[in-house]
């Protein structure tokens, strides 16, 4: 039986941020990330956790940070906080110590397929970010080349699309180019790897920070919370694809008649169990 962790406070450590899913603490001049089992959907944190989900998310980030460190330096230090004197059994397997950086206030999004907010924008205006796309594209269609569609990182409210030029004006051309180039390289690397595992990486998001004057990759990478994963064997453009992780959760929530504007309902045990299996399966598929 997997244990559930919904929320944690660690005596002696000051909270840096409690996000939707992760609880982050100051640790010396570094940060301690703990991935809880909270799950969010439609921008809400659900009242029911998915046992073991945090371990899957943490494990995927650790796997990818190690695998991509040659492409770009990242903030990962260790997934064993005991090395820093933190001996808390509940966070074992779901935590990592990382370099604390000054966060660059952009979300570096790379899209290989027309989905989510990009599809909604395309239907309305024919544009995705600053790109004018050809007419007649279908939902979930693959782009010839992946698109770099950065947004601001809003503390409150919704992130806003920015053009590459706006990024250059804010950060300087050299930094902006570095972020674009590394984001696309990372996306292509993971896309090709995942394709061999039967998974489509439809789109993904990176964050970068500055440590000792150098740009490094931070936050989480190639997790279902930062990326869209679709099963390759059932991919048919022209309709919404089912996400590999939250398929049952989204379908259940929609089937309850929940209005998405008030706190969401609890998930029944059967949905929790099936979702838990999906996360475990995803982890195995990627890592093994």
Residue 120, interface with ligand ADP (CB under 6 A)? no
Q: How many residues are given for the chain? A: 288
Q: Which of 46, 60, 202, 218: binder of ligand ADP (CB under 6 A)?
A: 218
Q: Which residue is nearest to ligand ADP (CB)?
A: 19
Q: Does 15 bind ligand ADP (CB under 6 A)?
A: no
**Smallest gap, in angstroms, from Cβ of residue 92 to ligand ADP?**
19
Q: Is 112 in the site for ligand ADP (CB under 6 A)?
A: no
Q: Is 107 in the site for ligand ADP (CB under 6 A)?
A: no
H or E element in which residue 125 lies: helix 116-125
- Decide: 237 and 138 in contact? Cβ < 8 Å: yes
Q: Among 8, 31, 46, 128, which residue sits at the site for ligand ADP (rule: CB under 6 A)?
A: 31
Pair 78, 91: CB distance under 8 Å: no
Binding of ligand ADP at residue 17 (CB under 6 A)?
yes
Q: What is the largest CA-CA distance in the chain?
A: 57
User: Are 32 and 79 contacting, i.e. CB atoms less than 8 angstroms apart?
Assistant: no
Distance of CA 43 to the CA centre of its chain: 13
- DSSP 8-state symbol, 13: -
Report d(CA 35, CA 24) in Å as an integer: 9
CB of 128 to ligand ADP, least distance (A): 22
Taking the CA atoms of the chain, what radius of gyration do you get in angstroms?
19
- Nearest to residue 147, comparing CAs of 118, 120, 176? 118
Q: Which of 112, 48, 30 is nearest to 273 (CA)?
A: 48
**Which CB sits closer to ligand ADP, 203 or 219?**
219
> Helix 164-171 vs helix 173-195: angle between axes, to the nearest 10 degrees?
130
Shortest distance (Å) from residue 216 CB to ligand ADP: 8
Is residue 81 close enough to count as binding ligand ADP by CB under 6 A?
no
Q: Confirm or reject binding of residue 219 to ligand ADP (CB under 6 A).
A: yes
* Residue 119 to residue 245: CA distance in whole angstroms: 20
CB of 219 to ligand ADP, least distance (A): 4
Among the listed ranges 56-64, 96-104, 191-199, 271-279, the one in contact with ligand ADP (CB under 6 A) is: 96-104
Which of 55, 100, 205, 228 binds ligand ADP (CB under 6 A)? It is 100
Please tell me whether residue 79 binds ligand ADP under the rule CB under 6 A.
Answer: no
Nearer to ligand ADP, 102 or 259 (CB): 102
Q: Which residues bind ligand ADP (CB under 6 A)?
A: 17, 19-22, 24, 31, 75, 98-101, 103, 207, 209, 218-219
């Amino acid at each position: 039986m997997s244990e559930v962790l919904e929320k944690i406070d660690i005596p002696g450590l000051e909270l840096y941020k409690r996000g939707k899913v992760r609880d982050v603490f100051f640790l010396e001049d570094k940060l301690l990330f703990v991935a809880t089992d909270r799950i969010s959907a439609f921008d809400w944190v659900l009242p029911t956790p998915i046992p073991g989900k945090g371990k899957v998310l943490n494990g995927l980030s650790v796997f990818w940070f190690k695998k991509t460190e040659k492409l770009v330096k990242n903030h990962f230090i260790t997934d064993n906080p005991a090395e820093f004197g933190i001996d808390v059994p509940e966070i074992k397997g779901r935590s990592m110590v990382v370099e604390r950086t000054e966060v660059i206030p952009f979300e570096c999004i790379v899209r290989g397929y027309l989905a989510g907010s990009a599809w909604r924008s395309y239907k309305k205006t024919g544009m995705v970010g600053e790109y004018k796309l050809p007419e007649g594209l279908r939902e979930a269609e693959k782009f010839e080349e992946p698109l770099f569609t950065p947004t601001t990182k809003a503390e409150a409210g919704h992130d806003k699309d920015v053009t590459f030029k706006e990024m250059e004006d804010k950060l300087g051309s050299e930094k902006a180019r570095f972020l674009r180039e590394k984001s696309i390289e990372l996306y292509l690397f993971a896309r090709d790897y995942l394709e061999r595992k039967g998974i489509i990486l439809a789109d993904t998001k990176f964050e970068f920070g500055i440590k000792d004057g150098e740009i490094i990759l931070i936050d989480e990478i190639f997790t279902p919370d930062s990326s869209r994963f679709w099963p390759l064997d059932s991919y048919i453009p022209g309709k919404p694809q089912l996400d590999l992780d939250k398929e049952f959760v989204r379908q259940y929530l929609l089937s309850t008649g929940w209005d998405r504007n008030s706190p969401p309902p609890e998930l029944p045990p059967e949905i929790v169990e099936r979702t838990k299996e999906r996360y475990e399966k995803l982890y195995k598929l990627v890592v093994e």
